[in-house]
Structure 1
Amino acid sequence: MAHVTHEVLNQVPPLTGHDVADDPALLTALRLGGAGWAEAELRELGVLAGSARVQELGRLANEHPPVLRTHDRWGHRVDEVEFHPAWHELMTTAIGRGLHAAPWRDERPGAHVARAAKFLVWSQVEAGHGCPVSMTYAAVPALRRSPWLAARFEPLLASPEYDFGLRPPESKRGLVAGMSMTEKQGGSDVRANTTRAVRSGDHHVLTGHKWFTSAPMSDLFLTLAQADEGLSCFLVPRVLPDGTRNAISLQRLKDKLGNRSNASAELEYDGAVGWLVGEPGRGVRTIIEMVNATRLDCVLGSAAGMRAGLVQAAHHAAHRRAFGAALVDQPVMRAVLADLAVESEAATTVGLWLAGSRGRLGLAVAKYWVCKRGPAHAAEALECLGGNGYVEESGMPRLFRESPLMSVWEGSGNVAALDVLRVLAREPDAVVEFTAELDAAAGADRRLDAAVRELKAMLVEPDPESRARRLVERMALVLQGSLLVRHGHPAVADAFCASRLAGDWGVAFGTLPAGVDAKAIVERAVPGR
């Protein structure tokens, strides 16, 4: 009798050939945001994102991270960053589909919501290249503080052409922007920056060292430096209009936990040319326009990671059998998946709402909370696959390594929480706008009504800084609850209010209260349901 030693049974088929945009919460939010006209485009991008070939591009871009080439073979300084072709193909699609600055030139209602939905879908393929795409999107509102610079560069930033390479900006078919703010001694405390900017005719000359520069291969950087008038914002090109390299040296690339496909660098300005953006001495106020837009993409990026992890877990559970039944039909697994789905749908819903509303208070609140939820969500989704989820081939370790980034980027948790307190203290109109959004759901759910009353009491209590995180967390949960009660699936809204607002919830995922419709919630997450 022949011995069979390697018969493959009960293994889950690859999750390819599906529409990544087939996400009920995403499609609902798209339509509510006035961007229903973009659904066909979104679906087309979703099919592309779910294809085996594009999934492979995401893997290759991370298996072959960027390499810094400081000098050429003859010893000339070149400061080039070399990328795998997979990176360039992902960037070509992202920019060609308008995920970058294109919405700023699109006057259709819901253009920014449509862009946010596309960003959320395409980021599920590969998160790293979303960084330069996001910063290009975010550069435009800051650049508009200096109309002559916006007129010069905005059309190229909004161009659907990805044109990689170091050449004079205005000789290229399209541009990518980066941001260079933090320094060794300050980090988030950018007012401690020591980079100097000295006026020289129609420009400034910058000298200093930046500790963390996102997307150093970009054509243009928005950067902060100390001018005579105080901390100011400047636009610094990699290549000057006459074709010579600007005096920018890349010192090294950061060896990061995740986001491996994307380059992040320390760089040095040694007499680099920069053009003033906005008012001198008002650099933080100018660049906050860019920070707010990139914070939106931090929320969207976290929502994308949650959706990707949820779909992988639900797909695995639908095809894997244990103890005589499919995992998805076993109550304990279904409870976990339902909890993950509730978290994912809440993140997606608030992310697309922010893309349409763009309120600074809502952005800071959601940036704090949604990005904080990412790592716990990724860990639980990975665990749904068991040991299969712990190996690199599953893609789940890459998702897990990426998950803490969004909470760190553009202000870590404490920075975001303190920003909320500043808005609460200085911008009463923003508070009125925020609470009006909560009141729009009044009477729809008694648990939400009680949570809104509790939150309003917290907002008027003195000395909230010592418990800023608690306050901001509650603000985020009540905002998500209001949106879900009005616009979400009834089963999802019920589970959210019972667990996140009424407190009938454990500490780990999978601890939703009895009575929630877990089956209906999970079915929304299974690809090709």
Structure 2
Amino acid sequence: MSSTTSNNKVSRHKPASSMPGSDQKVTAKHKIGSNFASTTKTNDLYTTPSSSIAGFFQTPPRVLNQYYDDAALRRALKLFLPKHIDQAVSNDLSAFGDRVLDRETLGLVLDAERNLPYVKSWDTWGKRRDELITSQGWQNLQRLGIEEGIVAIPYENTYKEYSRVYWCAKYAIWCGSSAWVNCPSLMTDGVASLFRKHLSGNSLRSERVILQDAYGRLISRDPKEAWTTGQWMTERQGGSDVSMTETLATYSPDSKLEYDAHGNVLGPWRLDGFKWFSSATDANMMVLLGRTKSGISLFCAPMKKLLETKDVLGHETELNGVYIQRLKNKLGTKALPTAELELKGVRGWLIGEEGRGIKEIATVLNIARIHNGVTAIGLWGRGLSVVRAFVKVRVVGRRPLWERTAFMRSLARMHIEYRANVLFNFFVSALLGSVEQEQIASLHGQTGQGLDKTGRLPGVKTTAAAEWLLRVLTPALKGHCSKTAISGLQECMESMGGVGYLENDDMQFNIARLYRDANVMPIWEGTTDQMMADDSVIRVLCGKNKSEVLGTLNDWVTEIVEQNSEHVPEVRFIEDWWIEFKATLSSAPKEEIEMKSRTIMAKLVDIVQGSLLIVDFQSDHDEVARLVMESWFFEKHNNANPTTATTWKEQARSDMKIVFGQADPSLDHARL
């Protein structure tokens, strides 16, 4: 399926083998896109009319392997990975970059989009037996993601604190072709992290066997053994607020033992209620919130239970007290089965202490929010790769599109913001990879050996510092990147004109699909206002750990400023923003801080992204990294030239370098 060469390296300029037009060669830039068939021209006047088979036909763009084509992705890997690990993961990311664009994988995406999930509620004889039907495309994409380690990579921990950086890159490459099987993946990752936390301690009793078996399946690469999981919180009255949960959990051990489909005993708790918005309805298990006498608690349960004997239709299992009311009709993420579920006698196990379910589910939510950020750059990165390919073959008024300076200015702005978001995502993923090491070491009986593994985290000296930064930056990452990806993909659609707006069957060019799917991200796992106020950024900055969080942020900003103040003039903006940020938090009353929470979060994101852009440039003084950094700060202040360019021609060349990495894209096409 991969178009790798014999030495397992892929040419930077080689398109995926299934790309249309791969046999067409471009030899001169003004011929690009001028693909005419059976039409003659005299004195600039056409002598024959166009038809369905004659006239101009646009040369199809060549969408390239994102691992090579996406400069932001490559620079993030270089910045956050040691050279030997960057090289070690190169072959896998290269091959995967081909695989997600090959004809077979894109065919699975099309099948998942065309053949949407549905529910069969009744059998022929009138007995209710809810059965969720998903497409072969969806099922095979699920298997592909499992085999490729989309969940497994950070748990295999092959590269220790760098494993999450590797995972981040692969996940981003995956999102544009996943048809949203990455949604069950994010919940599986979060639940696996939660189970690992409990398995590394000593508080588990009879449920240890259950959690250990589930954990092994959640992190498996074997599709025959691997599980996915749903995470069910939302109810009709609450949205993201789970304080009014109406699902009731009763401790009621059954005198007659029942078993799940794999022979494990069902739990002693009975759950009854209604879940309003439940994704991953086809999962193997679920974690869900329920109210006990002690308060809201967290439970896990298998999706199916074993029948004592096969029924007359040959079924060996049935749903474990789950009834599918209906599937949601959504703007996007159509292939993802999201349902309303009625729970009647679900048998499950309590996770952690009674009454502490919200704290327990936070582990899952924080992982999910990091997935959300990486999904944002994954979808946007795919959209930008399509636009770059389109620009290289599109001619407007006899001029290649890249010669349109206003257009290229807009495209450069998109790439600048995208690169800042990519660095932000890799930084937070690297923080997570560092923080996870102590828990991983504890799980394997190596307590203490995972301490202070901060890897190549700029300005971060201890794991404790990484943990405080992770707490405050995770919701900021989700809140910011989920919004910018939507506006970015809208610009990508507009860049391609009417073709960009089409819901075409050619999944490699369908930016409209990416755009509609991206619109769930500011809502998924908490709205933007929730990320800023009650649940996240402001709560962390102004809560009981305020001094630790602000102290860590202050140390980090100070370290970045001191390391770069003599070499990068833009550092002064970071200093000014940080002074303003601290002053707001220290002087404003709580009500004002809440009202200004979006502004406060935006300022925090600016401080972090600006710092990372400076660090990126300083790492090797790359010319394009400098142009990106200068332009980004210009956009924030609008009081200087976007770059050091002094004329419009120099600015045009700078924009070209930011988008393509070189000032003349026709040279790139001559090599294709």
CA distance in 1, matches of 2:475, 2:78: 24
In 2 relative to 1, CA 232–379 (structure 1 residues): closer, same or farther, beyond 3 Å?
same
Structure 2 counterpart of 1:61, from 112, 120, 123: 112
Tell me which residue corresponds to 1:476.
605
Tell me which residue corresponds to 1:154.
215
Which one-letter code corresponds to 2:608 in the other structure? L
Tell me which residue corresponds to 1:342.
416
Tell me which residue corresponds to 2:519.
404
Tell me which residue corresponds to 2:382.
308
Tell me which residue corresponds to 1:207.
272
Tell me which residue corresponds to 2:406.
332
Post-superposition shift, 1:247? 0.5
CA distance in 2, matches of 1:138, 1:209: 22
More deviation in 228-237 or 419-428?
Answer: 419-428
The equivalences for 1:11-160 within 5 A come to 11-16=58-63, 18-22=64-68, 23-34=70-81, 35-36=85-86, 37-109=88-160, 110-147=162-199, 148=208, 149-160=210-221
CA distance in 2, matches of 1:49, 1:435: 41
Post-superposition shift, 1:231? 0.2
In 2 relative to 1, CA 491–288 (structure 1 residues): closer, same or farther, beyond 3 Å?
same
In 2 relative to 1, CA 458–196 (structure 1 residues): closer, same or farther, beyond 3 Å?
same
The equivalences for 1:268-287 within 5 A come to 268-287=342-361
CA distance in 2, matches of 1:68, 1:504: 58
In 2 relative to 1, CA 8–522 (structure 1 residues): closer, same or farther, beyond 3 Å?
farther
Tell me which residue corresponds to 1:371.
482
Which one-letter code corresponds to 1:295 in the other structure? R
Does 2:430 align with 1:356? yes
Which one-letter code corresponds to 2:132 in the other structure? V
Structure 2 counterpart of 1:221, from 283, 286, 289: 286
Unaligned runs of 5+ in 1: 164-172, 507-511
CA distance in 2, matches of 1:10, 1:322: 13
Post-superposition shift, 1:250? 0.9
Does 2:556 align with 1:437? yes
Identity across the alignment (%)? 26
Contact 2:113 2:179 in 1 (8 A): no
* SS of the residue 2:227 aligns to: coil
In 2 relative to 1, CA 10–409 (structure 1 residues): closer, same or farther, beyond 3 Å?
same
Structure 1 residues 412-432: Cα deviation after superposition (integer angstroms, max 9, x where no partner): 011100111110122232333
CA distance in 2, matches of 1:505, 1:131: 42
Superposed structure 1 runs of 4+ greater than 6 Å apart? 503-506, 525-529
CA distance in 1, matches of 2:367, 2:655: 35
CA distance in 2, matches of 1:222, 1:45: 31
Tell me which residue corresponds to 1:522.
659
Tell me which residue corresponds to 1:168.
none
How many residues align? The count is: 514
Contact 2:286 2:302 in 1 (8 A): yes
CA distance in 2, matches of 1:505, 1:215: 48
Contact 1:334 1:518 in 2 (8 A): yes
**Higher Cα Rg: structure 1 or 2?**
2
Tell me which residue corresponds to 2:232.
180
Normalised by the size of structure 1, how large is the TM-score? 0.91
CA distance in 2, matches of 1:436, 1:505: 31
Which one-letter code corresponds to 1:485 in the other structure? I
Which one-letter code corresponds to 1:70 in the other structure? S
Post-superposition shift, 1:57? 2.3
More deviation in 452-461 or 278-287?
Answer: 452-461
* SS of the residue 2:95 aligns to: helix
Unaligned runs of 5+ in 2: 1-39, 41-46, 200-207, 254-266, 308-316, 433-469, 618-624, 643-647
Tell me which residue corresponds to 2:248.
196
Structure 1 residues 261-301: Cα deviation after superposition (integer angstroms, max 9, x where no partner): 11111101111111111111000100000000000011011
Post-superposition shift, 1:101? 4.0
RMSD, matched Cα: 2.5
Contact 1:499 1:505 in 2 (8 A): no
In 2 relative to 1, CA 524–235 (structure 1 residues): closer, same or farther, beyond 3 Å?
farther
CA distance in 2, matches of 1:101, 1:77: 36
Post-superposition shift, 1:40? 1.7
Post-superposition shift, 1:248? 0.6
CA distance in 1, matches of 2:638, 2:560: 16
Does 2:344 align with 1:264? no
CA distance in 2, matches of 1:416, 1:389: 31
Post-superposition shift, 1:71? 2.6
Tell me which residue corresponds to 1:451.
577
